[in-house]
Amino acid sequence: MITVHHLDNSRSQRILWLLEELELPYEIRFYKRDPKTMQAPKSLRRIHPLGKAPIITDTEGDVTLAESGAIIEYLVERYGNGRLQPERGTPAHVQFLYWLHYAEGSAMPPLLLKLVFGLLPTRVPFIIRPVASLIAGGVQSRLINPQLKLHMDYWEQSLSQREWFTGKDFTAADIQMSFPLEAAAARAGALPGRPHVGAFLRRIHARPAYQRALLRGGAYAFASAGEGPA
């Protein structure tokens, strides 16, 4: 049996969605963020030393695995029977691998930095908040926001050429890419002027498996990102 150790409003929502797409049975163990720090609870460390979601355990394979990309590759390889990935050795499969790893390796770091520097002024003593705000604002405007624009324009250009990131067919790479696009739509202004990014988000949110994952996983703050006029 596959168990997903699921943290609210986190990347682990993608794993629930993948399992629904594959129509695999699974269980969920729910974890809540600390309301003050917004960090994962220490109880997750009993499952994996780093205590970061997502984590899956698979009793059939005697596997405990973290990292979204690794989990997706494992599940698709072991249980996919050719579904949700292009045929190996094809150009589409090369693109599949690229987007699968680009999502966390390149797309998420500037989004995380934007979150961190956005919170910085509220996490320092009151007396130095004006200075912290100036520093955080400068880092965002000069370094983080230009990088985010570069990535968001790259998504728009890529999706203007094809319906899904790897081509004409929906794959697990699109599931992996969902989180950075949803986060950027909610926090970084990804949608204005980028109609293909918005259309991608509307397509994934309309998928029955995505909706089933929401019902099982519970509230997810990014579920409505990208909704609105076409």
Task: Report the pLDDT value the prediction gives residue 228, as an integer from 0 to 100.
Answer: 47
Task: Report the pLDDT value the prediction gives residue 133, as an integer from 0 to 100.
Answer: 79
Which amino acid, one-letter code, is at 154?
Y
Task: Report the pLDDT value the prediction gives residue 57, as an integer from 0 to 100.
Answer: 96
What is the C-alpha separation between 227 and 230, in angstroms, rounded?
8
What is the C-alpha separation between 32 and 40, in angstroms, rounded?
7
Q: Where are the alpha helices (DSSP H) in the chain?
A: 12-22, 68-79, 91-102, 108-119, 129-139, 145-161, 172-187, 195-205, 208-217
User: What domains appear along the chain, each with residue ranges and CATH number?
Assistant: 2-79 (3.40.30.10), 91-207 (1.20.1050.10)
CA dihedral 62, 67, 73, 77 (to 10 degrees): 10
Task: Report the pLDDT value the prediction gives residue 37, as an integer from 0 to 100.
Answer: 67
Q: What is the pLDDT along the chain (230 residues), one digit of tens a residue?
A: 999 999 887 899 999 999 999 999 999 999 888 777 667 888 888 999 988 899 999 998 799 999 999 999 999 999 999 999 999 999 999 999 999 999 999 999 999 999 887 777 777 787 877 877 777 778 778 889 999 999 999 999 999 999 999 999 999 999 999 999 999 999 999 999 999 999 999 999 999 999 999 999 988 878 766 554 43
Task: Report the pLDDT value the prediction gives residue 32, as an integer from 0 to 100.
Answer: 83
16-55 burial by CB neighbour count: b if 16+ within 10 A, else e? bbbbbbbeeebebeebeeeeeeeebeeebeebbeebbbbb
